[in-house]
Chains A and B, each alone.
Chain A
Amino acid sequence: MTLAVDFLNDVGTQYPIRGTHAFWSNWTDTGAGSSLDSFNQSSIVDGGTGIVTPSYTNTMANRFYVSGSTGTEALNVGFTICTQTGNTTFPLPNTQTGSTRFIMKNNSVNNSNIDSLITNLFVLGEYA
């Protein structure tokens, strides 16, 4: 039996099904950043060296969702992790319901911001 539906709803909360990613994006930045593939991403902005801010089609219910990422800086050149920092627009934990500011850093090189060949971003949480 196959069941086809437009949307799924749990009690009081539109999808996603809990436990699945509310957002993910495969971001690459070798000078001109681009998103190779994504889910629930309305746009993504290259904010300068090592900074990227995706916005969400379906917004999150609050700012306290889980976000994470790992990446690879370049061919055979170490790896990066993505962290978030606070500023006026994105106060700690540097998230908004409609977007998240990620900053890519290479831990082995003085934690400097770097553009990465592969950056894998994700968010887990509930939609509004």
Chain B
Amino acid sequence: MSTIVANALADRNKTASKPMDAAFSGAVGSYLAYRNNGVATTLDSYNTSSIIDSAVGSFRPTFTNAFANGNYITNGWGVETETESPPEGWVAVVPRLDGAGAFANKSTTTVRLDSSNANTDAVVDSYYVVCTVTGDLA
């Protein structure tokens, strides 16, 4: 078995070299594990320069390497409290849709996310949520 070591790759459609993760369209562009049980804490993250506690249940990661456009996907889940069990306590992490347009809170460099209780739709601070962001990096 041979091993190739490279600092950058160019995919078949693009001539410019890209960071290793940006060369693969199926790669996760960013991920995060986040907690807000009174104190907002980033437990782990990838390709995020900061995560801002925007409001109750709402937070906003900023990406170190920007995405090529705003049509990337986000997927996330979590639990509202440490002791609650599904389905009462679980939440989904989804892009927040308000403001001037449907996608006003989503850009190439940041996205505002809400953690929403599955039973009530209420936006709630959560004990533990994880989220992935997948799309083409710029």
- A interface residues with partner B (beta carbon < 8 Å): 1-7, 16-17, 20-26, 36-37, 39-40, 68-72, 74-79, 81, 106-108, 117-118, 120-122
Contact = CB atoms under 8 A, between A and B. Distances in A.
Interface string B118-133: 1111000000000000
A81 B91 CA distance: 10
Given A72-B95, A117-B102, A122-B75, A37 B28 contact: no
Interface of B: 4, 6-12, 17, 24-28, 69, 71-77, 87, 92-98, 102, 114, 116, 118-121, 134-136
Nearest to A120: B73
Given A2-B7, A68-B75, 20 more contacts: A4-B12, A16-B26, A21-B26, A22-B26, A24-B135, A37-B73, A70-B76, A70-B77, A70-B93, A72-B96, A74-B97, A79-B92, A79-B114, A79-B116, A106-B121, A107-B118, A107-B119, A118-B94, A120-B75, A122-B73
Contacts of B6: 1-3
Per DSSP, chain B at the interface is loop
A40 B74 CA distance: 17
B94 A2 contact: no
Contact of A26 (B7, B10, B72): B72
Contacts of B28: 20-21
B73 A121 contact: yes
Contacts of A106: 121
B94 to A, nearest CB: 4
Nearest to B87: A107
A108 B9 contact: no
Contacts of A72: 94-97
B120 A108 contact: yes
A106 B119 CA distance: 9
Q: Which 4 A-B pairs have the closest CB atoms?
A: A37-B71, A120-B73, A78-B121, A20-B26
Contacts of B76: 70
Contact of B98 (A75, A78, A107): A75
